[in-house]
Chains A and B, each alone.
Chain A
Amino acid sequence: MTDTTKSIPRRAFLRGLGTAIALPALEAMIPRGARADAAPLRVLYYYVPNGVYVPAWTPSGVGNAWSPSPTLAPLATWGLTNDVTVVTGLRNDPVNIQDNGAHFRGTAGLLSARTIVKEHIQNGISADQVAAQAIGGETIFRSLQVGLAAGGAGTGLCGAQWPCAYLTNISWSSDTTPMGKEISPRAVFDRLFAGQGQQASQDARDRRRALDLSVLDFVRGDATRLMARLGRTDRARMDEYLTEVRELERRIMGSSSGDMCDAGDPPPGGTLQERLEQMQDLMVLAFRCDLTRIATFMTLNAGASDYNTVYSWLTATQAPDGSPITPIPVTEPKHANSHHQELVERVAQLQAIATWEVERFGRLVSALKNTPEGTGTLLDNCLVVFTSEYGDPNSHTAIDMPCIVAGSGCGQLPPRGHVPAPGAKWSNFLRSMLAFQGVTVAELGDSDGMLF
């Protein structure tokens, strides 16, 4: 009997999986030193493009006696005032170079804290990927990169001859390799849970898995034999190939046993707003099912690449100082508004967009908070970082960068309200995040210590 499927599979290797995904409960996957009952830490970098209006961002009060600013007000609406740490005053100086590549610098250098090169792709490894390479092996997916706007790991040239990849990737696995990202909720779901709805029997699935593994075993043999004919640098390339053979093998094997995690129905896609919610839900799902512990989410790409994104559902109601104005519809994309020149209607529109972004972030955090885990909530075991490549977009500078950390990181960072850190290095913040993840690095960008 031929085990055919009616459709050509998008992700053939996961075709054999059933309607639920296996949790990677293998002994080998539990981090050394971790107790079996200790919940793992999940870290998500949640990126919004083109900065915020800093005067309306910075909250008043310090510590837990803080009150949200106009832009941060939605956090209070979601009841999250006591679940976040808002760090203000951070700066990412390696990207603070004033030229025509500011958005490229800020975005590519956001999690690497490096100065990129224009002529060819040259960045640094990003903090999320430092963690993925160190501890990502504990889950089926070392890390997950998602977004909502197209633009992958390719290196065509965008504005002013800068490589596009800089505008569309905050996650970099090496100096030269952007991770790319999935932008369709359906594709993310397929990747995480492919096989959903495929009515194959357990037997057929086991056979499929055995054959997939035999193909990987065969090509591993090929690559190993080829090694003997390759010089030093070519071997490095073949090593990359072999690494990916092992990674895929691990994912296929990891899906074969253990407890099941109900994934629900695949997301249907739709408008930007619908997809944003679906992608947020997928993040919650991936964390809840412990498929990955490291993720980046670019709500949109940086710079003027958003020229077609109009926030027609938004109305600007606040002047720069937060006082009410006659409502005006938001007619311009965020990038156009971000060059606000302190004009009231521009700032008001930027404000409206940024506030909406925080509101949507609140939805995600709230969903994590409403997901029980152990004796607490999933949010307790998360650090979800809301940030952008700039503070004030009008000056194109990564000074006073927006930074909200939601969750308490398995008790390591109990929410502290407003933490002013004027002039502190963003890279030191990133290093603290890595430390919470149990990853020690000798250097990260211009880092010279830790923030927490």
Chain B
Amino acid sequence: MEDLVTTLTRAALVLALSGCQGVVSAPPPYEQLPPPPPAMCDLEAPLDPGVPAIRRLSNVEYTRSVRDALGPEVATDTLTSAFPPDEIAYGFDSIGASQRITAAHFERYFDAASTIATEAMRRPGEPIALTVEVEDAGAFDAYGNDILRNDAAYPGHRYFIGNGTTASERAAIAEGTYEVDIIGFVHLENLTEGADLRILEGDLQVDQVAFDSPASSTITRTVHLIHGFEPLGIQLVNRASTEQSLPRADTRSDCVECAGPDEVCAAERCYSLSACAVDAECAEGERCLSGTPNAPAGTFCSLPRTRRTLYLDRFEVRGPLEPPVPNPLRERLLVCDPDVVGREACSREILALVAPRAWRRPLEGDELDRLTALAMHPAALDFETGMRTALSAVFLSPSFLFRVEDSTQDSLRPLSQPEVATRLSYLLWGTGPDRALLDLAERGQLLDRLPAEVDRMLDDERAVGLIDGFVGQWLATRLLRRELLDRDPTLYPGYDATVQAAMAEEIERLFTHVLAEDRPLTELLSANYGFMNDRLREFYDLPGGGADFERVDLTGAHRGGGLLMSGGLLALNSHRARTSIVGRGAWVLANLLCEPPPDPPDNVEFGLPDRVDPGATLRDRMEQHRSDPACRGCHQAMDNIGFGLEEYDAVGRFRTTDEGGNVLDATGELPDGTTFDGAEELAAALSFDPRFARCVSQRLLTYGTGRAYFADTDRCALETLVERAGGEDATLRSLLHAMIESELFLTRRGESL
């Protein structure tokens, strides 16, 4: 019977996708999958929360949790930069079963706890040191473009070409005299003069020094910083323009028109080559060079490339040497004076305040005694050293690093109120509970006031944790902010890190708006408005408005405001020099409908040449997908969605012709027979698709409970949640409420030994 039901369910799915069945990726170790649901769900049946695995703080959560436990003065900008990156499973960094503790983790936790404790107890007047690893810093030119690059040849370094500045987010902490070490080297190509380095405080130049060492070396300067709190930066001043080495060429980008035996097409540009073997065969000033990755193969005459590149390893700032530095964090923590009340009593008092916040629960048993004993360890000769030791232990303890829930019972049990408070605050804020939430939980009043408390938290500014953690991962805005997509600059001028960051913000603001204003969930797809600043509007070729982000009415415009037409997601699922019909379709299926297409069969030839043959449209070239029965099932679903988005190019701008100059055809047909023309009709069709609401629930549940939920095996639970949230009238907010107030969030099972 069970088998029959399973078969029927699978068959229904297969039908829905016209032969394409999503593969549920295998679970991380330890995780058990629930059995598949029946074909018809009983929406009244209680939901089973399963056995979620214990969760460790993600790196982002770690940083926020430390800050919230101690105070906003904690310098957290580089605290986790040496941590191993979080494991991503099912699209999120919050999946308990994937959160291992390796030697690398533990060593870094040990170091970070020590760093936190050392800074917290630093006496006013002790200078502090700040090392800025350049990998962690950003660098931007006058136009705001990120010009700091990684170069695999020089690991640990980043380099800048042109005039550029790298800045730390954190810097001097007060006005005074500082020592600055700059560690790096300069690479000169066909140039003799070295670089000038400027040390900046904010926009102000505080020092300038010549730097031309070809091998790694350290320059130490003593500077007087005027402001304090302004970010420190190192700027490279280039005294000559930099040129890309290319053969003598025009730069027409249309290769078809390349003419003559000497003209060669490479990377979509025409080059007229003067073949050569030695420099003497070339004109005055030119040299005989060979091709680069983006230029033709062979050798040809070219002006030699000149380049001055500063490779920075790190810079270190120590100070102020004069006058003494205050430590507001210490002032906040020292609620008592050890010289007055005694070292032991004062240590105990401070730890009794800090540890419960860090551990998200009241202290139990002899915990406070043990912590105090650590602070009074005989090897700790003074108050500060003792407190450092105890605070290190607080932040290395599993009670801080793990979100502990009692998991010893097989049977269903309601979570304790502090456990609920912790789940809630990490879901909505990405950090531990605040005092108000903890108090409510300790008094046992949280569950009675849950809906109101959820609303309070959603309206709090800390809800940015949900945007960063959930939207950032589900809709890839973290990625869009972190890494500039590689786009051919000749085809997509103006696409840069600033535009891409604005695209990320466009997505996040849409989500925030739909959540805050209690708008229908489907508006995420069908909104006829969007959120843009002037840079983004200009990039999208939309009429002007204010400089800052604001709501823009898109009625009648050439693009809608829903996720399908967000530039960031369109660009993310494109290639360097063209769109990706399959990539876009697959992304929508996997992330908005939660039915990821399976991998292509073995021995399929992947990818199209990046170069586009004019005349043949991408749609034509997708023909094979439809003619080959092995491909047809899945590609029908993927390709049709992709066709609908073809009116937007590889950086998300509206267009009417494709890469080859052909007039676009953005019509398509969904598996259920719905036909559409263009992205807005596609978005409208998908917003009616019940799989979308279930998919949002699935993503939220997976993120919020830290165990995987699947569109197929958990279909009934997802349907029930959507139903409880109002069915077709569900809003994003009602869906969040329904999930949080459900047994999936408030109860759990465990495993006896």
Q: List chain A positions with a Cβ less than 8 A from chain B.
A: 1-4, 6-13, 97-100, 117-122, 142, 147-150, 152-156, 160, 173, 175-177, 179-180, 183-184, 206-208, 210-211, 214-215, 218-219, 221-223, 226, 228-238, 240-241, 244-245, 247-248, 268-272, 274-275, 300-301, 305-310, 326, 328-329, 331-333, 336, 345
Check B5 for interface membership: any CB of A closer than 8 A.
no
Number of A-B residue pairs with CB-CB distance less than 8 Å in the complex they form: 255
A-B pairs with beta carbons under 8 Å apart, 20 shown: A2-B385, A6-B318, A7-B131, A12-B111, A13-B111, A176-B28, A176-B29, A183-B155, A210-B377, A211-B385, A226-B399, A229-B408, A237-B402, A244-B107, A247-B103, A270-B185, A275-B155, A301-B152, A310-B153, A331-B291
Q: Which residue of A lies closest to B31 (CB)?
A: A233
Asked if B152 and A149 sit within 8 Å, CB to CB, the answer is yes
Contact partners of B101 in chain A: CB under 8 A: 237, 240-241, 244
Contact partners of B85 in chain A: CB under 8 A: 152-156
Of the candidates A2, A148, A268, the one whose C-beta lies within 8 Å of that of B382 is: A2
Asked if A148 and B155 sit within 8 Å, CB to CB, the answer is yes
Residue-by-residue, is B547-575 near A (CB-CB < 8 Å gives 1, otherwise 0)? 00000000000000000000000000000
Of the candidates B151, B183, B292, B751, the one whose C-beta lies within 8 Å of that of A231 is: B751
Asked if B215 and A13 sit within 8 Å, CB to CB, the answer is no
Check B407 for interface membership: any CB of A closer than 8 A.
yes
Q: Please report the C-alpha to C-alpha distance between residue A98 and residue B97 in the assembled complex, in whole angstroms.
A: 31
Q: A7: shortest Cβ distance to chain B, in Å?
A: 4
Check B313 for interface membership: any CB of A closer than 8 A.
yes
Q: Please report the C-alpha to C-alpha distance between residue A147 and residue B152 in the assembled complex, in whole angstroms.
A: 11
Check B154 for interface membership: any CB of A closer than 8 A.
yes
Asked if B26 and A120 sit within 8 Å, CB to CB, the answer is yes
Contact partners of A244 in chain B: CB under 8 A: 101-103, 105-107
Q: Please report the C-alpha to C-alpha distance between residue A136 and residue B377 in the assembled complex, in whole angstroms.
A: 32
Check B603 for interface membership: any CB of A closer than 8 A.
yes
Q: Which residue of A lies closest to B364 (CB)?
A: A225
Q: Please report the C-alpha to C-alpha distance between residue A175 and residue B98 in the assembled complex, in whole angstroms.
A: 12
| Given known A160-B606, A247-B103, contact A11–B156 (CB-CB < 8 A) | no
Q: Which residue of A lies closest to B583 (CB)?
A: A161
In the complex, besides A4-B122, A215-B389, A218-B370, 5 extra interface pairs with C-beta distance below 8 angstroms are A100-B606, A117-B26, A183-B156, A207-B381, A241-B101
Asked if A232 and B753 sit within 8 Å, CB to CB, the answer is yes
Q: Please report the C-alpha to C-alpha distance between residue A154 and residue B101 in the assembled complex, in whole angstroms.
A: 13
Contact partners of B89 in chain A: CB under 8 A: 120
Contact partners of B105 in chain A: CB under 8 A: 244
Residue-by-residue, is B100-136 near A (CB-CB < 8 Å gives 1, otherwise 0)? 1111111100110111001100110011111100010
Q: Which residue of B lies closest to A121 (CB)?
A: B87
Contact partners of B606 in chain A: CB under 8 A: 100, 160
Interface 9-residue window, one of B390-398, B512-520, B611-619, B647-655: B390-398
Check B750 for interface membership: any CB of A closer than 8 A.
yes
Check B51 for interface membership: any CB of A closer than 8 A.
yes
Check B384 for interface membership: any CB of A closer than 8 A.
yes
Asked if B382 and A99 sit within 8 Å, CB to CB, the answer is no
Q: Which residue of B lies closest to A272 (CB)?
A: B153
Check B379 for interface membership: any CB of A closer than 8 A.
yes
Q: A131: shortest Cβ distance to chain B, in Å?
A: 16
Q: B177: shortest Cβ distance to chain A, in Å?
A: 15
Contact partners of A147 in chain B: CB under 8 A: 155
Check B143 for interface membership: any CB of A closer than 8 A.
no
Contact partners of A271 in chain B: CB under 8 A: 153-154, 185, 215-216
Q: Please report the C-alpha to C-alpha distance between residue A183 and residue B152 in the assembled complex, in whole angstroms.
A: 11
Q: Please report the C-alpha to C-alpha distance between residue A424 and residue B89 in the assembled complex, in whole angstroms.
A: 37
Asked if B129 and A119 sit within 8 Å, CB to CB, the answer is no
Chain B residues 48 to 78 lying within 8 A of chain A, measured CB to CB, are 51, 53-54, 56
Asked if A305 and B399 sit within 8 Å, CB to CB, the answer is no
Q: Please report the C-alpha to C-alpha distance between residue A230 and residue B113 in the assembled complex, in whole angstroms.
A: 25
Of the candidates B102, B107, B377, the one whose C-beta lies within 8 Å of that of A177 is: B102
Of the candidates B23, B115, B389, the one whose C-beta lies within 8 Å of that of A214 is: B389
Check B210 for interface membership: any CB of A closer than 8 A.
no
Asked if B28 and A120 sit within 8 Å, CB to CB, the answer is yes
Most chain A beta-carbon neighbours within 10 Å: one of B99, B126, B153, B409: B153
Q: Which residue of B lies closest to A184 (CB)?
A: B156
Asked if A219 and B129 sit within 8 Å, CB to CB, the answer is no
Contact partners of A269 in chain B: CB under 8 A: 156, 183, 216, 313
Of the candidates B96, B155, B377, B752, the one whose C-beta lies within 8 Å of that of A149 is: B155
Q: B459: shortest Cβ distance to chain A, in Å?
A: 33
Asked if A231 and B407 sit within 8 Å, CB to CB, the answer is yes
Q: B280: shortest Cβ distance to chain A, in Å?
A: 15
Q: Which residue of B lies closest to A228 (CB)?
A: B408
Contact partners of B86 in chain A: CB under 8 A: 154
Contact partners of A149 in chain B: CB under 8 A: 152, 155
Asked if A234 and B152 sit within 8 Å, CB to CB, the answer is no
Check B47 for interface membership: any CB of A closer than 8 A.
no
Q: Please report the C-alpha to C-alpha distance between residue A155 and residue B384 in the assembled complex, in whole angstroms.
A: 39
Q: A201: shortest Cβ distance to chain B, in Å?
A: 13
Contact partners of B152 in chain A: CB under 8 A: 149-150, 300-301, 305-309
Most chain A beta-carbon neighbours within 10 Å: one of B82, B154, B185: B154
| Given known A222-B399, A226-B398, contact A153–B102 (CB-CB < 8 A) | yes
Contact partners of B192 in chain A: CB under 8 A: none
Asked if B110 and A238 sit within 8 Å, CB to CB, the answer is no
Asked if B150 and A6 sit within 8 Å, CB to CB, the answer is no
Check B380 for interface membership: any CB of A closer than 8 A.
yes
Check B173 for interface membership: any CB of A closer than 8 A.
no
Asked if B407 and A270 sit within 8 Å, CB to CB, the answer is no
| Given known A9-B111, A183-B156, contact A234–B407 (CB-CB < 8 A) | yes
Q: B585: shortest Cβ distance to chain A, in Å?
A: 14
Most chain A beta-carbon neighbours within 10 Å: one of B371, B379, B380: B379
| Given known A150-B155, A153-B102, contact A8–B370 (CB-CB < 8 A) | no
Asked if B104 and A153 sit within 8 Å, CB to CB, the answer is yes
Contact partners of B118 in chain A: CB under 8 A: 4, 8, 12
Contact partners of B370 in chain A: CB under 8 A: 218, 221
Q: Please report the C-alpha to C-alpha distance between residue A232 and residue B30 in the assembled complex, in whole angstroms.
A: 9
Most chain A beta-carbon neighbours within 10 Å: one of B87, B111, B277: B87
Top 8 nearest A-B pairs (CB, nearest first) are A154-B85, A244-B106, A231-B751, A119-B25, A12-B114, A231-B407, A270-B216, A7-B129
| Given known A154-B85, A244-B106, A305-B152, contact A218–B53 (CB-CB < 8 A) | no
Asked if A180 and B104 sit within 8 Å, CB to CB, the answer is yes
Contact partners of A235 in chain B: CB under 8 A: 753
Most chain B beta-carbon neighbours within 10 Å: one of A122, A222, A248: A222
Q: Please report the C-alpha to C-alpha distance between residue A177 and residue B87 in the assembled complex, in whole angstroms.
A: 10
Contact partners of B385 in chain A: CB under 8 A: 2-3, 211
Q: Please report the C-alpha to C-alpha distance between residue A162 and residue B216 in the assembled complex, in whole angstroms.
A: 35
Q: Please report the C-alpha to C-alpha distance between residue A15 and residue B122 in the assembled complex, in whole angstroms.
A: 17
Of the candidates A119, A270, A336, the one whose C-beta lies within 8 Å of that of B215 is: A270
Q: Which residue of A lies closest to B751 (CB)?
A: A231
Contact partners of A219 in chain B: CB under 8 A: 393, 396-398
Q: B375: shortest Cβ distance to chain A, in Å?
A: 10
Check B428 for interface membership: any CB of A closer than 8 A.
no
Asked if A232 and B216 sit within 8 Å, CB to CB, the answer is no
| Given known A214-B374, A234-B53, A269-B313, contact A223–B114 (CB-CB < 8 A) | no
Q: Which residue of A lies closest to B398 (CB)?
A: A223
Asked if A215 and B111 sit within 8 Å, CB to CB, the answer is no
Q: Please report the C-alpha to C-alpha distance between residue A176 and residue B30 in the assembled complex, in whole angstroms.
A: 12
Asked if A8 and B107 sit within 8 Å, CB to CB, the answer is no
Asked if B51 and A231 sit within 8 Å, CB to CB, the answer is yes
Check B406 for interface membership: any CB of A closer than 8 A.
yes
Asked if B102 and A6 sit within 8 Å, CB to CB, the answer is no
Contact partners of A336 in chain B: CB under 8 A: 293
Asked if A229 and B406 sit within 8 Å, CB to CB, the answer is yes
Q: Please report the C-alpha to C-alpha distance between residue A436 and residue B523 in the assembled complex, in whole angstroms.
A: 65
Q: Which residue of A lies closest to B217 (CB)?
A: A268
Of the candidates A233, A241, A305, the one whose C-beta lies within 8 Å of that of B106 is: A241
Q: Please report the C-alpha to C-alpha distance between residue A40 and residue B406 in the assembled complex, in whole angstroms.
A: 46
Q: Please report the C-alpha to C-alpha distance between residue A248 and residue B128 in the assembled complex, in whole angstroms.
A: 27
Q: Which residue of A lies closest to B586 (CB)?
A: A161
Check B267 for interface membership: any CB of A closer than 8 A.
no
